[in-house]
């Protein structure tokens, strides 16, 4: 019987990469070292590696993620290459290429000049006006289209499993693209659900993942949380708020029951208030996405239709979206800061 030596990890990686069709460009480590000026300008730090800004010879700006060569870094590398290495969509960050050389594992992405969404909805600077409603709606629609493609437009369903504002990047025109596929899972189309260990970021994790049930509807739930953060202009767990307002979703549940959703609209800037009736309709879409029973959530293609005005939100919605057990788990995880992916500045873009 042939037994592969432990030192053959690189050979196994090569064999695996050879089997993937439609692979992006393969770069040498030396070329990426030159492109990044010897990895001089660090623009981000993730749980499993660092990210550096660079430029290719043709002037194209890039973001180079340097991953650890073993453990979770290797898993993240393979997950990224498996998922977005051979697919292309205007609302997914493009993986331009990669490098596997000795112990080096690097991923090369397009550079997104306007950073991550969290900086635009949570960290408003005095000189930076808040996003108006048309911009926010475009961003929401972009995210929805990207997820619809992952779930329904690829040969295998791709479930992202870590949708949050930090993983939504904005280009020069404030169009949104989904990034960071390090936790993603591929599901065969003949399987409606799979068992998995819980993964993601507290506050965005769908309730059923606590019971290790995973479908693409987990992304729909996370999208619903992000949608509410975008229209409210606050984090789903905001420790600057009074205790009764700490968690966004219980506030949403109460306001929905009291017909007071308009009270939750971001009050910064006139645009949100002047479009209040449309914003409230989008809030109802968020509630549909946040249904506790994942079977009652819409598909992302249905979400796109609602946002484009060709479909209405389900009339009968369950406003009991959260349970004390789930809230307690979210609070405990955020207090311990045991997020599956750290909440950090975007590593595909530099500081604005």
| Binding-site residue ranges | 65, 167, 180
Question: What 3-state class would DSSP assign to 53?
Answer: strand
Report strand pairing: 95-101 vs 25-26: parallel
Strands (E), the chain: 25-26, 42-46, 49-55, 61-67, 95-101, 104-110, 157-159, 168-170, 176-178, 185-187, 194-195, 213-214
Measured at the alpha carbon of residue 51, what is the angle toward residues 50 and 57, in degrees to the nearest 5? 140
* End-to-end Cα spacing for the chain: 57
CB 141, CB 304: distance < 8 Å: yes
> What are the two backbone dihedrals, phi and then psi, of residue 274, each rounded to the nearest 5 degrees?
-70, -15
> Environment class of residue 159 by beta-carbon count within 10 Å: exposed (0-12), middle (13-18) or buried (19+)?
buried
Report strand pairing: 185-187 vs 176-178: unpaired
How far is residue 339 from each of residues 27, 274, 328, measured CA to CA in Å? 32, 37, 15
Upper half-sphere CA count for residue 70 (Cβ side, 13 Å): 3
Rg (CA), the chain: 21
Question: What 3-state class would DSSP assign to 31?
Answer: helix
Catalytic positions: 162
CB 129, CB 272: distance < 8 Å: no
CB 272, CB 263: distance < 8 Å: no
């Amino acid at each position: 019987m042939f037994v592969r030596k432990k030192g053959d990890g690189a050979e196994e990686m090569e064999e695996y990469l050879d089997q993937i069709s439609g692979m992006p460009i393969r770069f040498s480590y030396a070329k990426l070292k030159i492109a990044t000026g010897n990895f001089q300008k660090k623009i981000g730090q993730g749980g499993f590696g660092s990210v550096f800004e660079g430029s290719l010879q043709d002037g194209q700006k890039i973001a180079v993620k340097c991953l650890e060569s073993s453990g979770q870094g290797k898993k993240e590398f393979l997950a990224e290459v498996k998922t977005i290495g051979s697919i292309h969509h205007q609302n997914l960050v493009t993986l331009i290429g990669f490098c596997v050389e000795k112990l080096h594992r690097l991923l090369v992405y397009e550079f997104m000049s306007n950073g991550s969404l969290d900086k635009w909805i949570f960290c408003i600077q005095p000189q930076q006006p808040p996003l108006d409603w048309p911009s926010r709606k475009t961003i929401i629609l972009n995210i929805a289209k990207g997820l619809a493609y992952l779930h329904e437009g690829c040969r295998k369903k791709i479930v992202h499993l870590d949708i949050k504002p930090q993983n939504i990047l904005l280009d020069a025109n404030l169009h949104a693209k989904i990034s960071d596929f390090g936790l993603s899972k591929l599901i065969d189309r003949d399987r409606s659900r799979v068992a998995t260990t819980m993964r993601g970021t507290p506050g965005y994790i769908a309730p059923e993942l606590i019971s290790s049930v995973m479908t693409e509807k987990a992304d729909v739930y996370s999208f619903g949380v992000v949608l509410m953060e975008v229209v409210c202009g606050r984090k789903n767990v905001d420790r600057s708020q009074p205790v009764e307002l700490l968690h966004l979703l219980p506030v949403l549940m109460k306001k929905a029951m009291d017909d007071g959703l308009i009270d939750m609209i971001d009050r910064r800037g006139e645009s949100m208030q002047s479009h209040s009736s449309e914003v409230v309709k989008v809030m109802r879409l968020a509630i549909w996405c946040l249904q506790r029973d994942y079977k009652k959530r819409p598909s992302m293609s249905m979400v796109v239709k609602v946002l484009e005005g060709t479909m209405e939100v389900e009339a009968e919605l369950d406003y009991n979206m959260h349970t004390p057990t789930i809230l307690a788990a979210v609070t405990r995880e955020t207090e311990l800061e045991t997020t599956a992916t750290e909440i950090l500045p975007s590593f595909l873009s530099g500081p604005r």
